């Protein structure tokens, strides 16, 4: 069964943090390069990273005021 090149590249991705399968089209998450290292994050780890960054971002907290 021939999928698109994008589907073939995304097949078999595992989260770089927790090791769970990453389903970019179904559940979400993200995949790309961290510098020169390829990484993928499941939807749960990606949401946690975004939350952690927003907590440490002074500019993000200024927007709430």
Domains of the chain, by residue range, sit at 5-64
49 has a pLDDT exceeding 70: yes
CA end-to-end span of the chain: 53
Look over the chain and give the mean of its residue pLDDT values, rounded to a whole number: 83
pLDDT of residue 1: 47
Distances (CA, A) of 36 to 22, 32, 39: 20, 10, 9
What distance in Å separates the CA atoms of residue 29 and residue 22, rounded to the nearest whole number?
7
DSSP state of 1: -
19 has a pLDDT exceeding 60: yes
């Amino acid at each position: 069964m021939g999928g698109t090149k994008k589907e073939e590249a995304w097949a078999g991705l595992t989260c770089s943090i927790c090791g769970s399968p990453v389903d970019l089209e179904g559940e979400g998450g993200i995949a790309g390069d961290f510098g020169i290292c390829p990484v993928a994050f499941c939807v749960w780890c990606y949401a946690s990273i975004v939350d952690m960054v927003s907590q440490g971002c002074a500019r993000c907290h200024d927007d709430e005021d």
